[in-house]
């Protein structure tokens, strides 16, 4: 693996970040996860735009513009000779003296890693996965806005620990009002009567790039998509439940805390949306 750090590439064993980096010391940074198909990074512009929004929200001055980030990501994929790739951009506040003041860090640290993507097993898409509604609540926007894709990920990690202890693949987190917010690494959808429902931004979520694409694709399939607050009980009575993110795309959920969701089998809407998603990827590849 060849890792990009501040404009240069390093072998995995030589890639180093200072112990005084405020990303390491305080979780002061942002990141994005992207996916490459046949050497082409999917929705690259959208991910970089969200990275730049996150930077603005934590008052982090980035060392390059959107075109510079796009070039660095594409170079990293090419440097590693990858076709189907898992890519992560991390930007921290950078090294500085001990203390919380961002002014202590004169330059941010940019790290881009890319490795071969290991797809989720086909049986997960065919049979669905188990999820668990966890006790750990999603950070309140009044404390640490989930709209910031932050390297300070302990909230989600604790929820993931809970989900894993329950034998679940994903944990579904509620906000402080008890409404469904999102998964530890995903956005949540349900289908009722042919209409798609997903929590709105004001539920306290990170609005996913894949989430937005799925809402758009639903429209092309003649489905209505509504952003609406709802309680977790509705997931168990819904016709279908599925989650989305960049690497899993559209994943059916067929078990929630040991109770069947969506009738206990992968639903037709999730299948149709995943097929439509694949079609969008093919169009992206043809346009390269």
| Catalytic residue list | 149
CA quadruple 40, 220, 147, 117: dihedral positive or negative?
negative
Residue 264, exposed/middle/buried by CB under 10 A (0-12, 13-18, 19+)?
A: exposed
Q: What are the residue ranges of helices labelled H in 147-208? A: 154-165
Nearest CA among 14, 84, 7, 89 for reference residue 48 = 89
CA triple 185-217-127, angle to 5 deg: 55
The residue behind tokens 């009044």 is: 142
Give the separation between CA 101 and CA 6, rounded to whole angstroms.
22
Kindly state the greatest CA–CA separation across the chain.
57
């Amino acid at each position: 693996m060849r890792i990009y750090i501040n404009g240069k590439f390093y072998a995995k064993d030589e890639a180093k970040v200072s112990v005084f980096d405020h990303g390491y010391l305080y979780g002061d940074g942002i990141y994005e996860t992207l996916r490459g198909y046949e050497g082409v990074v999917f929705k690259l512009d959208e991910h970089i735009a969200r990275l730049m929004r996150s930077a603005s929200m934590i008052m982090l001055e980035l060392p390059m513009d959107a075109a510079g980030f796009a070039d660095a990501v594409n170079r990293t994929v090419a440097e590693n000779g990858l076709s189907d790739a898992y890519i992560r951009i991390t930007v921290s506040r950078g090294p500085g003296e001990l203390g919380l003041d961002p002014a202590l860090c004169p330059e941010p640290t940019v790290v881009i890693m890319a490795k071969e993507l290991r797809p989720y097993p086909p049986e997960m898409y065919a049979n669905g996965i188990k999820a668990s509604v966890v006790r750990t609540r999603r950070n309140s926007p009044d404390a640490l806005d989930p709209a910031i894709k932050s390297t300070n990920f302990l909230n989600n990690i604790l929820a993931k620990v809970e989900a894993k202890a329950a034998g679940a693949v994903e944990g579904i987190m509620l906000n402080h009002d008890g409404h469904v917010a999102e998964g530890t690494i995903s956005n949540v959808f349900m289908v009722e009567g042919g209409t798609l429902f997903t929590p709105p931004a004001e539920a306290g979520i990170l609005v996913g790039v894949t989430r937005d694409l799925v809402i758009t694709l639903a429209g092309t399939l003649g489905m209505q998509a509504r952003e609406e607050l709802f309680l977790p009980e509705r997931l168990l009575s819904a016709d279908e439940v599925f989650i989305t993110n960049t690497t899993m795309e559209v994943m059916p959920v067929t078990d929630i805390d040991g109770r069947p969701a969506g009738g206990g089998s992968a639903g037709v809407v999730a299948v149709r949306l995943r097929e439509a998603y694949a079609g969008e990827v093919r169009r992206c590849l043809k346009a390269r």
